[in-house]
Structure 1
């Protein structure tokens, strides 16, 4: 029995390897592009088997039929591979739109080939030619057939380039696999082009199916060895698209000359433009109050806040511009994100005004009220009127103290953080001496020997002072308060404990909720000052109101762990 010629044997080997690859990849049918890839491999198998048999068949009618089948399978292999590449890399919209035409393309090519004797549009003068022990074939292909075959094979090249570009963007994770994908189609593509244009070693034989052997080996390495269907680019591409298109904040992509390349829907709505009209225009003109202004503002050049007017609205945006670079590190533009801070700026403005009124106007006026009330109380003999004046003076004193607390809040929240090593016992003793009148009935003890912490001492002092003041005010006529500190898991826990009735539930509920309402609100600023100060220190405030009140401030130690 004569040995099977090498091209035919290689074709059968390629078919067998392709079937094994199909069997392995069958589990990934639900992955993006997997169905198209399996279909492409199926046509590749048919092509390899049909042409392998054709090389062994000298009967002209059978050899002609196998040639027609090979043409149809070649068309399916190419167009389905491109559909796979597009779907796999997240570019499947054209595939979804034209899937019927894509699916029917190899059938159309097969139909044209099968009916060629009737119209002669594909080729003429089909002849079986014995060559090197094989059944080669010669025929005169019509121009459109050459162009169609060239285009069909080019689809495989385009698909490979799409895969190569996308997969390589994953970086080192799939770099070797990307090279394998890029190289896998070179042998069959070169073989087909050589056969089409008579440049192959055996013009009468298409060696593409034999060239599928290295192609299948490289595909197996890329898709089996690394499980590339487990981590496909479609997820990342969809995520990148969603990150821009679905983001609530306006996003504009500009090139290196500040010209708009694309923008999301939020940007269209915010700036009152349509994407088509904004493309290629300068970013500054897009943001300027007068749309015809060719320069406008330049958020990339240093303007970190821009004001945009459109349709009578005035919005303020904080701008973040991030440079964009291509794979080679060349600067190609910027991603510009606009964060609407209009409401935030308005709140800051209102708070600044209210804070100024509270710090200056209210404090000064309350001081006047307090002075006149106390003077009036000294000049009246009526006990009832004097009692009312005394109460009014007491409330004025409370209001003045509230103003001072507001100033303390500003100092705690807005001060520049600093850090130094302090002995906690000394700090607690200083707080005690500041808030306790030596002639009063309160008993305040300090127990924090050998405990030190690296933190902002001024803020910690304000926090402990607010908690101590709260204890002295609400713990009863002769309260006992203990100030202590100890190390706990790399942090320092500063504790203010009293023997009073405990903090009311509604006070704790407000603090836990983190906001006040018309129905749930605290009676003052003391606990808020303590909570905000603990947060400023990077710590936490916890309060246990069972059997007295125990407030604990856990402060992370910024220094060495002792």
Structure 2
């Protein structure tokens, strides 16, 4: 009874998931080994001419002992595997945090400083040459918008791990996509966005996926040099995977940026533009998904995540 109480408490306090079958396997192995040993002992005694009273009860006793030993060994084995898995996850999380710190460092030292220097330079130009005031103010506004966008992306990155668990409450992801598209079309009237969304709507529990889509959509708009920007958004879902594809008629993502994201680190000579794609990458990594880029006739970015994680 003490063992049963301990096992019950252990099962309710540890999330063993698929390891339940492994624990059951150890119990079954204990029954076979000890129960079989009991049968062999009885057969051996009978071969020697001995009489073994209540042999059935004896075999059951041996099998019960096997269950006890199997539980003890199984709990140790499962606990060890869970600890190893948690350690691997902790190491992966530490690597992502280190990666984020390096990107933070680059944003603060390079991107923000560069934007501030450009702003200061054009501010001086306004004072020295009033004739160029209109152009200078336009550039200053662009750099201020860039700084605001960088700090907003940095805030989202800072909150990414804080809210990595998301919530158990589901929401309509297709509705969020339509809302983000409406915001972009209001901000950039020249942009044409074509949606291909499934019916019925897709429900998810990961708000971070909406952030990733918003970054991809804005990236497709702001880096599109076509006079008539066109963006196509395709969302599909099956039993195993949720796929989100953002396709546009722009120049595509530079291979240098893709290489930096694949490498997982930045240098002073090789770094991505801003933090938007890093934010998307980290969200996809948190969801155990894949982020792919295609630069053929059109530029395509695809997010594919297991449905179990969203």
Q: TM-score range by the shorter chain?
A: 0.5 to 0.7
Choose the corresponding residue for 1:447, options 183, 196, 215.
Answer: 196
Aligned pairs (5 A) from 1:86-485:
171-179=30-38, 327=69, 379-382=127-130, 391=139, 394-415=142-163, 416-418=165-167, 419-422=169-172, 424=174, 426-438=175-187, 440-448=189-197, 450-456=199-205, 458-478=207-227, 479-485=229-235
Residue 172 and residue 433 in structure 1: after superposition, are their counterparts in 2 closer, same or farther (change >3 A)?
same
Measure, in 2, the Cα distance between the counterparts of 1:384 and 1:172.
Answer: 89
Measure, in 2, the Cα distance between the counterparts of 1:347 and 1:174.
Answer: 46
Partner residue in 2 for 1:550: 300
Contact 2:103 2:266 in 1 (8 A): no
Contact 1:367 1:396 in 2 (8 A): yes
Partner residue in 1 for 2:260: 510
**Residue 166 of structure 2: SS of its match in structure 1?**
coil
Which residues of structure 2 form unaligned runs of 5+? 1-26, 51-67
**Residue 253 of structure 2: SS of its match in structure 1?**
coil
1:346 offset after TM fit, Å?
Answer: 11
Residue 407 and residue 500 in structure 1: after superposition, are their counterparts in 2 closer, same or farther (change >3 A)?
same
Residue 413 and residue 377 in structure 1: after superposition, are their counterparts in 2 closer, same or farther (change >3 A)?
farther
Q: Between the two structures, name the one with larger relative contact order (CA 8 Å, sep ≥ 6).
A: 2
The number of residue pairs the alignment matches comes to 251
Contact 1:380 1:386 in 2 (8 A): no
Residue 557 and residue 352 in structure 1: after superposition, are their counterparts in 2 closer, same or farther (change >3 A)?
closer
Higher strand share: 1
CA RMSD of aligned residues (A): 5.0
Contact 2:166 2:207 in 1 (8 A): no
**Residue 414 of structure 1: SS of its match in structure 2?**
coil
TM-score, length of structure 2 as denominator length: 0.59
Contact 1:451 1:486 in 2 (8 A): no
Partner residue in 1 for 2:3: none
Contact 2:226 2:249 in 1 (8 A): no
Which is higher, the Rg of structure 1 or of structure 2? 1
Contact 2:216 2:280 in 1 (8 A): yes
Measure, in 2, the Cα distance between the counterparts of 1:369 and 1:386.
Answer: 19
1:386 offset after TM fit, Å?
Answer: 7.8
Higher helix share: 2
**Residue 271 of structure 2: SS of its match in structure 1?**
coil
1:458 offset after TM fit, Å?
Answer: 2.9
Choose the corresponding residue for 1:531, options 259, 281, 284.
Answer: 281
Which residues of structure 1 form unaligned runs of 5+? 1-167, 188-209, 215-325
Measure, in 2, the Cα distance between the counterparts of 1:420 and 1:169.
Answer: 39
